[in-house]
Chains A and B, each alone.
Chain A
Amino acid sequence: GAVVSQHPSRVICKSGTSVKIECRSLDFQATTMFWYRQFPKQSLMLMATSNEGSKATYEQGVEKDKFLINHASLTLSTLTVTSAHPEDSSFYICSASPDSKNIQYFGAGTRLSVL
């Protein structure tokens, strides 16, 4: 199956700092990637759709200035959490699909803890 790599797997930062999370499709090209957030004991919540070469599309309630998404190539999308605060602590997951049936392949996730 296709492989999506996500780094880092875990990050701890101080309040007010920015954190960048990378999502790479290793063996396929992805025009579109997706970013999700998951709180403990809850399901995945779609944050935004990352489009190569264009602006990301954010879901309602997600602050685009706080969660900066850059999709500069067909294999890399980054999510930057700017001026992170404790309430941003969560599990962030990216996904991409290499095929026409839209079977999504997910990264391993990034556990963000803001102190």
Chain B
Amino acid sequence: LAKTTQPISMDSYEGQEVNITCSHNNIATNDYITWYQQFPSQGPRFIIQGYKTKVTNEVASLFIPADRKSSTLSLPRVSLSDTAVYYCLVGDGQAGTALIFGKGTTLSVSS
């Protein structure tokens, strides 16, 4: 499994756009990039998954450059409720493969 590196923490204010970058230099050809969000005392929640270029859903956008060695999770106009830990994971997407979590990025949104 490709190792990922992301900032330990980030601070933002309500209404701002937040971009969290994840480095995965050893990503393999078959690997997908997946982001999860976790609130305290809850299980992680799937946010978005991508393989290349850009993916957008109702919650976030995921930007992946051509070399796929990094990815950026973009949260538009954050609110206080977006305060959480965000995890970037890279894996081949095969069913039955366990996820290995890194330390994640703690995002703190203030008013």
- Contact-residue size bin, chain B (C-beta under 8 Å from the other chain): 20 to 34
Give complex CA distance A37, B32 in Å: 24
The answer on a CB contact under 8 Å between B96 and A32 is yes
The answer on a CB contact under 8 Å between B41 and A106 is no
| Least distance between A45 CB and chain B CB atoms (Å) | 8
A interface residues, how many (CB within 8 angstroms): 29
The answer on a CB contact under 8 Å between B43 and A93 is yes
The answer on a CB contact under 8 Å between A106 and B45 is yes
Output the nearest chain A residue to B43 by Cβ-Cβ distance. Answer: A106
Interface residues of A in 1-33 (CB under 8 A from B): 1, 4, 6, 31-32
Beyond A100-B93, A102-B93, A109-B41, whether A1 also contacts B46 by CB under 8 A is yes
Give per-residue flags for B32-75: 1 if the beta carbon is below 8 A from chain A beta carbons, else 0.
10101000011111100100000000000000000000000000
The answer on a CB contact under 8 Å between A108 and B46 is no
Q: Which of B11-19, B76-84, B99-107 is the interface stretch? A: B99-107
